Amino acid sequence: METYQIDQLEQMTGIKAHTIRIWEKRYGIICPDRTSTNRRSYSESQVRKLLNVSTLLARGQKISKIASLTDDELNSLIDNQDNTDIKDSVCAGYINDLIKSMLDFNEPGFEKIFSAATTRLGFYDAMVSVIYPFLSKVGILWNISKTAPIQEHFASCIIKRKLMSAIDGLLPPTKKTKKYLLFLPPDEWHEIGLLFANYIIRSKGFETIYLGQNVPIENIESIVGAIHPKYILTFYINPRPLEEVQQTLNRLSKTNENITLFVAGNSLLFPENKYDFKNTFFLTGASSLIKFLE
């Protein structure tokens, strides 16, 4: 069984380690094991319980009340909560529930939460307010080695499938004079951001050519002359030398003087004043893409 340290618990639940220690002493809300060096060690069931606690706190419940509940009563209260006017608390609950489903490899549960979020918030707002924050937390968990890549892949595959389904459900493009070419450069495999960009562009009526992951730059150079895109959009997620990114972007910017290049992803790869290419713009999020499209 997987175990977690208190700093990892803090990152997963958003509850400060100091607060967790106080709750253990004052309320006995969870009782961690101790390592041979007297460090706290938490089980997966305790992680799930604190995720539930975090959800209820976000929905306005008091810790004194929460601490008095049994696990069954806690789960029942989670199920019966209805805070339709408190968007942040609702989103926090969805995020915590997605983490629990991911840890359990619970595909029906994950899909149910995803569907509930998109039904309540709409697909775009669910992606921005629930799925992206969830993925950010997953990134934190992966960095502290508490979600194996297989768990991240499990969640990512479901999200990608939902994005593809949403894209397929859109109306055919009506604005065909401004074609977008979307791809991930070599050694880039994290496709969710690119798929979401494809959804946004297509939802605004524009035509897209979607090439997906790990596309050699020479292939992009050869296809430009065949399909004549007005815009190229790509993502950089994986850490890599800035010089490599600079060379690739410079190469893309020279592909065709009439093409506008959009780049998004890991902000550490795009320091201010580092790049100065003609017709190249750096997107800071989904809203900046929408602003351009409108």
Residue 230 one-letter amino acid: K
**179 with 283, same domain?**
yes
> Does residue 51 fall inside a structural domain?
no
Count of domains in the chain?
Answer: 2
**91 with 137, same domain?**
yes
- Work out the average pLDDT over 6-28: 86
**188 with 278, same domain?**
yes
- Which H or E element spans position 34? strand 33-34
What pTM does this model have? 0.79
**153 with 215, same domain?**
no
> Does residue 255 fall inside a structural domain?
yes
82: pLDDT strictly greater than 80: no
Sheet holding 40-43, edge to edge: 3-4, 40-43, 33-34
- Work out the average pLDDT over 178-192: 93
- Final residue of a domain: which of 111, 139, 166? 166
The CATH number of the domain holding residue 268 is: 3.40.50.280
- Work out the average pLDDT over 177-188: 92
Residue 206 one-letter amino acid: F
Reference 35, options 6, 66, 62; nearest CA is 6
241: pLDDT strictly greater than 70: yes
204: pLDDT strictly greater than 80: yes
Q: How many CA atoms lie within 13 A of 200 on its CB side?
A: 22
> Does residue 141 fall inside a structural domain?
yes
- Work out the average pLDDT over 132-161: 83
The predicted pLDDT at position 149 comes to 79
The torsion of the CA quartet 118, 153, 128, 292, rounded to 10 degrees, works out to -120
> Which tokens sit at 275?
């790049």
Beta bridge partners of 234: 183, 263
